[in-house]
Amino acid sequence: DVKVTQSSRYLVKRTGEKVFLECVQDMDHENMFWYRQDPGLGLRLIYFSYDVKMKEKGDIPEGYSVSREKKERFSLILESASTNQTSMYLCASSLLGHGTDTQYFGPGTRLTVL
């Protein structure tokens, strides 16, 4: 069974703090993604990775960085959290290759920045 897990369901941080969100998948997927979901805006892609140590910017990478040291783990880093980064963060993974676009999502992390 497909499984994507995220380190925290709920997180509260202060402005200026460095924040780490962890994502682990057990499906041996090559691709991993980080999104944020905000009301009325749908899911917006922050960063993605198609291989270990590889990363590419998505649509809204500003204020974020990522790390992928192992195939199963993809971390999202907020270098200096700000209130406009309060959001639901979703991690996803998928197989590499045409016709395998289905992404499998974790349960999400609701981050509040005060």
Partner 1 sequence: DQQVKQNSPSLSVQEGRISILNCDYTNSMFDYFLWYKKYPAEGPTFLISISSIKDKNEDGRFTVFLNKSAKHLSLHIVPSQPGDSAVYFCAASSSSGSARQLTFGSGTQLTVLP
Q: Name the residues that contact partner 1, by CB under 8 A.
A: 4, 9, 31, 33, 35, 40-45, 48-50, 56, 58, 90, 92, 94, 96-108, 110
Q: Which residues contact 43 (CB under 8 A, 6 or more apart)?
A: 35, 36, 37, 90
**Whose Cβ is closer to partner 1: residue 9's or residue 70's?**
9
| Strand pairing class (109-113; 10-13) | parallel
Separation of alpha carbons 63 and 85, rounded Å = 9
**Whose Cβ is closer to partner 1: residue 75's or residue 109's?**
109
4-6: strand order across its sheet: 4-6, 19-25, 73-78, 64-70
**Whose Cβ is closer to partner 1: residue 7's or residue 15's?**
7
**Whose Cβ is closer to partner 1: residue 15's or residue 96's?**
96
Q: How far is the CB of 113 from partner 1 (least distance, A)?
A: 18
Q: How far is the CB of 97 from partner 1 (least distance, A)?
A: 8
